[in-house]
């Protein structure tokens, strides 16, 4: 038994079970992996904060297969320290399973987790589940326990919301109706639900019949994401120079746009590429830093082909996992742009905003529409109807989803006006920090569910 394991088992701290079942969870976040994104960052950051507040936490994630990047088995217990660990639960399928196909695996996973809890024989004081599959897993385990544990569900997204946002011809593959049917069985089997945005709250109330929802939005780690001083000799310039094939001096003279998210069709990276190609007609000295995970076998080749077709080679830095460089990258960009049509809240946008980057986002990103726009909003219409109306707010410009010309115009507005860029970046920062910092939000959440805070 390791030192951390012994300390964890002997600790008298209250024990929280944090269930994030799908995707590939680990202490080191690797962007771009299938079903592995903002929710994983959320869970880790929330867990770190709860440990600082005096709890011990077991994160639950489906394992039983090799990690595609590290080659390590997702198996057993992975301790961060004496108060935080990941437990990989398993079923008879020893390979990755996408979240849409998780339903049939949950009974086996529930049995595995229940047996582990029985074997360890340490009490659980609170269960927090994330997404629908984790909620169903938590309910099954809770029903097996001699004494059920308080269980709060944090959905991050909802089937009814996704159904409204996605084309009808995708519903069957995404198994949306099956997901919605599952979600509608949870209401009388949990002790509370925490909305991550007003969009989720409204859907919980109108589509699922919940009242008095708690609020637990994604927050930012302000100790990691802040505007850093980046001098002319910093390594980030070499990094972008090598990827684009442009000189360091050229890169430093460019407008730099960033988009960092998993490589998925819902992120609409193709829309951004087409909009960027349009704005370069007026502003040729521009570089787009775009996260493209080449393991995304369907989407990545299409993006690379589009870069070629749009003649953007040398002006698009298609990057993979650059987690350590992100704070420095965000500190040198002119703006951050996300055309995504499916966001629970918008964590990547939030992180960029914390570094004082102005934001261009779609009308499907809750953090942008509910917060970054602010109260002082100007509607920008196209006299020739080339694009749908834009909303110019305090910390962001919002374009309608999939409106390529709208995104191009929004990029151009920020490119053309350095004073507006700086003002918007400052507003984005002050809207994000300190309101959306983890310690403040975690304490408020714990108080709302009557949990004592050992280290307030």
Q: Residue 159 corresponds to which tokens in the numbers above?
A: 């089937």
Long-range contacts of 89-92 (CB under 8 A, 24+ apart): 89/21, 89/60, 89/61, 89/62, 89/63, 89/64, 89/113, 89/116, 90/62, 90/63, 90/64, 91/62, 91/64
Cα–Cα distance, 421 to 395 (Å, whole number): 9
| Measured CA distances, 438 to 44, 141, 197 (Å) | 11, 28, 15
Residue spans of alpha helices (H) in 194-346:
198-206, 235-244, 248-253, 269-279, 299-309, 326-332
Cα–Cα distance, 24 to 65 (Å, whole number): 10
Q: Confirm whether 453 is domain-assigned.
A: no
Q: Confirm whether 228 is domain-assigned.
A: no
388 contact partners, CB below 8 Å, separation of at least 6: 382, 399, 400, 403, 406
Q: Do 181 and 43 reside in the same domain of the chain?
A: yes
Q: Confirm whether 360 is domain-assigned.
A: yes
The predicted pLDDT at position 416 comes to 97
Residue-by-residue pLDDT tens, the chain, 456 positions? 799 999 999 999 999 999 999 999 999 888 668 899 889 989 999 999 999 999 999 999 999 999 998 999 999 999 999 999 999 999 999 999 999 999 999 999 999 999 999 999 999 999 999 999 999 999 999 999 999 999 999 999 999 999 998 899 999 999 999 999 999 999 999 999 999 988 899 999 999 999 889 999 999 988 899 999 999 999 999 999 999 999 999 999 999 999 999 898 999 999 999 999 999 999 999 999 999 988 888 899 999 999 999 999 999 999 988 889 999 999 999 999 999 998 878 889 999 999 999 999 999 998 999 999 999 999 999 989 999 999 999 999 999 999 999 999 999 999 999 999 999 999 999 999 988 989 889 999 999 999 999 987
Cβ–Cβ < 8 Å for 59, 87: yes
DSSP 389: P
| Measured CA distances, 367 to 2, 285, 343, 359 (Å) | 42, 30, 9, 11
- Chain centre to alpha carbon of residue 242: 28
- Chain centre to alpha carbon of residue 115: 31
Q: Confirm whether 63 is domain-assigned.
A: yes
The predicted pLDDT at position 159 comes to 96
Q: Do 99 and 176 reside in the same domain of the chain?
A: yes
The CATH number of the domain holding residue 23 is 3.40.50.2000
The predicted pLDDT at position 145 comes to 94
The predicted pLDDT at position 31 comes to 67
**H-helix or E-strand spanning residue 30:** none
Q: Do 214 and 241 reside in the same domain of the chain?
A: no
**Look-up of token digits 């595995």:** 112
Domain span at residue 96 reads 3-219+436-448
Q: Residue 10 corresponds to which tokens in the numbers above?
A: 């002997």
- Count of the separate structural domains present in the chain: 2
Q: Do 186 and 257 reside in the same domain of the chain?
A: no
Q: Do 84 and 106 reside in the same domain of the chain?
A: yes
């Amino acid at each position: 038994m390791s030192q951390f394991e012994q300390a964890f088992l002997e600790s008298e701290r209250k024990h929280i079970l944090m269930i994030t079942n799908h995707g590939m969870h680990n202490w080191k976040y690797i962007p771009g992996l299938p079903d592995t994104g903002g929710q994983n960052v959320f869970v880790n950051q929330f867990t770190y904060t709860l440990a600082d507040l005096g709890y011990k936490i077991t994160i639950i994630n489906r394992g039983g297969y090799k990690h595609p990047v590290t080659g390590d088995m997702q198996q057993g217990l992975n301790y961060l320290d004496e108060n935080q660990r990941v437990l990989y639960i398993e079923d008879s399928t020893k390979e990755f399973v996408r979240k849409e196909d998780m339903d049939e695996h949950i009974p086996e996973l529930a049995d595995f987790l229940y047996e582990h809890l029985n074997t360890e024989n340490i009490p659980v004081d609170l269960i927090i589940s994330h997404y629908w599959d984790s909620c169903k897993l938590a309910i099954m385990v809770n029903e097996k326990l001699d004494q059920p544990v308080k269980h709060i569900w944090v959905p991050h997204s909802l089937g009814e919301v996704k159904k409204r946002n996605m084309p009808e011809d995708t519903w069957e593959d995404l198994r949306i109706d099956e997901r919605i049917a599952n979600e509608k069985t949870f209401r009388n089997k949990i002790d509370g639900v925490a909305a991550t945005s007003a969009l989720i709250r409204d859907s919980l109330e109108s589509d699922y019949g919940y009242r008095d929802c708690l609020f637990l939005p994604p927050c930012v780690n302000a100790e990691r994401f802040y505007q850093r001083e980046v001098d002319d000799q910093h390594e980030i310039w070499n990094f972008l120079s090598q990827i684009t094939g442009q000189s360091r001096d050229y890169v430093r003279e460019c407008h730099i746009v960033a988009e960092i998210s998993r490589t998925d069709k819902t992120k609409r990276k193709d829309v951004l590429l087409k909009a960027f190609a349009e704005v370069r007609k007026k502003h040729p000295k521009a570089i787009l830093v775009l996260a493209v995970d080449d393991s995304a076998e369907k989407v990545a080749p299409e993006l690379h082909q589009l870069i070629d077709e749009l003649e953007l080679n040398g002006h698009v830095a298609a990057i993979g996992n650059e987690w350590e460089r992100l704070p420095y990258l965000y500190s040198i960009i002119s703006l951050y742009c996300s055309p995504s049509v499916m966001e629970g809240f918008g964590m990547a946008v939030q992180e960029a905003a914390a570094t004082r980057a102005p934001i261009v986002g779609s009308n499907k990103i809750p953090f942008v529409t509910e917060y970054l726009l602010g109260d002082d909003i100007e509607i920008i219409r196209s006299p020739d109807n080339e694009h749908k109306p834009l909303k110019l707010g305090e910390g962001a410009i919002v374009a309608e989803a999939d409106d390529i010309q709208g995104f191009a115009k929004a990029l151009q507005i920020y490119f053309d006006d350095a004073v507006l860029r700086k003002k918007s970046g400052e507003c984005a920062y002050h809207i994000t920090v300190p309101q959306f910092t983890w310690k403040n939000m975690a304490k408020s959440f714990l108080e709302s569910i009557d949990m004592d805070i050992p280290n307030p």
